[in-house]
A and B are shown apart, each in its own frame.
Chain A
Amino acid sequence: MQPSRREDLRLIAGHGRYSSDWNLPNQLHASVLRSTHAAARIARIDTAPALAAPGVKAVLTHLDVERAGYKSIVGGVATKDKNGELMKKPFYPILATDRVCHVGQAVAFVVAETPEQAQDAVDLIEVEYEESPAIVTFADARAPGAPAVHADIPGNLSFVHEHGDEAKTAAAFAGAKFVTKVRVDSQRLICNPMEPRACLASFDAATGRYLLHAASQGLIAPRVHLQQITGVPATDIDLIVEDVGGSFGIRSSPYPEYMLSMLASKTLGVPVKWTGSRTDTFLSDYHGRALSLTGEVALDDKGNILAFRWEDEIDLGAYAGPFGAFIGTQNVSIMCGGVYRVPSVFVRSCLAYTNTTPVSSYRGAGRPDIAYAIERLIDQAAQEHGFDNLELRRRNFITPAEMPHTTAAGQTYDCGDFPAVLEHALKTVDWSGFPARRTQSEKRGKLRGIGLASYIEAAAAGAQPKDQTAARVAADGTITIYCMAGGSGQGHETTFVSVFAGVLDVAPDAIQYRASDPAFAMIGNGTGGSRTAAGQGSSFTLLAQALLAKARPHAAKALGVAEVSYAKGVFSGGGKSITLKDLARQVAPADAGTHPFDSEAEGSYGATYPNGCHIAEIEIDPDTGVTDLLRYVAVDDLGNILQPMIVEGQVHGGVAQGWGQMFGEHAVYDRESGQFLTASFMDYPMPRAGWLPNSGHFDRVPHPVPTKKNLLGAKGVGESGCSGSLPALMNAMMHAVRPAGVKELQMPVTPAVLWRALRDARAKAA
Chain B
Amino acid sequence: MLFTPEHEALRQTVRTLVEREINPYVDDWEAAELFPAHEVFKKLGQAGLLGVHKPVEHGGMGLDYSYATAMTEELGLIRCGAVPMAIGVQTDMATPALARYGSQELKREFLAPAIAGDAVACIGVSEPGAGSDVASIKTTARKNGGDYVIDGGKLWTTNGVQADWMCLLANTGEGPVHRNKTLICLPLKTKGVSVARKLKKIGMFASDTAQIHFDGVRVPQRYRVGEEGQGFVYQMQQFQEERLWGATSGLKAMEAVIEETIEYTRERKAFGQSILDNQVVHFRMAELQTEVEALRSLIYRAVEDYVGGADVTRLASMAKLKGGRLMREVADACLQYWGGMGYVWENRVSRFYRDGRLMSIGGGADEVMLQIICKLMGTLPSRRNR
Tell whether A and B belong to one assembly.
Answer: no
Residues of A with Cβ closer than 8 Å to B? none
Residues of B with Cβ closer than 8 Å to A? none
